[in-house]
Chains A and B, each alone.
Chain A
Amino acid sequence: QVQLQESGPGLVKPSETLSLTCTVSGGSVSSSSYYWSWIRQPPGKGLEWIGYIYYSGSTNYNPSLKSRVTISVDTSKNQFSLKLSSVTAADTAVYSCARGDNYYFYMDVWGKGATVTVSS
C-alpha cells in the first residue's frame, strides 16, 4: 500500500523560501506511471494544484506560481520536494503531496498534509 508523508517547517517568515519534502513508502518515485504532485489548500478555501514532477525529472507548474516554484526528485531516497520562494501570508496553507496517474489523470494517493504558516 503506497503512502505519502510530508515533512518540513511549519512556520516560514515572509520573503523566505518554503521547503517541504514528500517521502514515498510502499511504491517508487521512479515509476513511469505517475506524476508526483503538490497541492495546497489555504484556510477555508479550495484546492490548488501547484505542480508535478515525473521520475525523469521533468516538471510542470501552475502558471500562477511558476515563477516561485521548484519541484525536485531524489530517487535514491524515494522522495520529492517543493520549494516556494518569496512567500507571503497568502501562501499560508495546508500543503499536500499526491500521486497522480498519468494515463487516467487522477490523483489517487494523498499525504495527510502539512500546515505551513507564513508569519514573522
Chain B
Amino acid sequence: QSVLTQPPSASGTPGQRVTISCSGSSSNIGSNTANWYQQLPGTAPKLLIYSNNQRPSGVPDRFSGSKSGTSASLAISGLQSDDEADYYCAAWDDSLNGWVFGGGTKLTVL
C-alpha cells in the first residue's frame, strides 16, 4: 500500500492529452512539492517534473505538472508512442522525514 495514491492505469491515443492524478496528505504533498518520474521498461526512473511544475533540462514541454492542496497532477499533451511507460509521483514526507511514492500509473498509448 503506497502512501500516495495514483490510478493504476491510464491510456490515450497519439496526439491526445492525458492526465495522471496523485493524492497525498498534509504531511507530504500538502506541505511539500510534488515530483514525477517516468520509468521506461527495464530502466531506472527518470525525473520528469520537480517542485510541482518544473521540468529538468531536456524534458519536453509536452509534460507539465500542477498541485492543489494535497493532490498533484501530471499532464502529457501531444501523446507519443514512446511516452508509454510507468509514471510515479513522489514527495517529501515531514512525518517520515523521507520520500514517499505513489504506486505508479502504467500509461498505454493505443
Known A-B contacts A104-B51, A113-B44; the reply to A46 vs B88 at CB < 8 A is yes
- Interface SS, A side: strand
Tally of contact residues, B, Cβ under 8 A: 26
Q: Are B44 and A96 in contact (CB under 8 A)?
A: yes
In angstroms, Cα B18 to Cα A84, docked, is: 39
Q: Check A112 for interface membership: any CB of B closer than 8 A.
A: yes
Residue from A46, A106, A107, A112 in contact with B103 in the complex, judged by beta carbons closer than 8 Å: A46
Question: 0/1 per residue, A45-67, Cβ < 8 Å to B?
Answer: 01111011000000011110000
Q: Are A111 and B98 in contact (CB under 8 A)?
A: no
Known A-B contacts A46-B2, A46-B104, A47-B104; the reply to A108 vs B98 at CB < 8 A is no
Q: B1 → chain A, closest Cβ, in Å?
A: 10
Q: Are A104 and B98 in contact (CB under 8 A)?
A: no
Q: Are A107 and B101 in contact (CB under 8 A)?
A: no
Residues of A within 8 A of B (CB): 37, 39, 46-49, 51-52, 60-63, 96, 100, 104-108, 110-113
24 interchain pairs, CB-CB under 8 A? A46-B103, A46-B104, A47-B37, A47-B90, A47-B104, A48-B101, A49-B98, A49-B99, A51-B98, A62-B98, A96-B45, A104-B51, A105-B35, A106-B47, A106-B50, A106-B51, A106-B90, A107-B35, A107-B47, A107-B90, A107-B99, A110-B45, A111-B44, A112-B43
Residues of B within 8 A of A (CB): 2, 32-33, 35, 37, 43-47, 50-51, 56, 88, 90-92, 96-104
Identify 12 new A-B residue pairs, CB closer than 8 A, beyond the known A46-B103, A47-B37, A112-B44: A46-B104, A48-B101, A49-B99, A104-B33, A104-B50, A105-B35, A105-B91, A105-B99, A106-B47, A107-B35, A107-B47, A108-B47
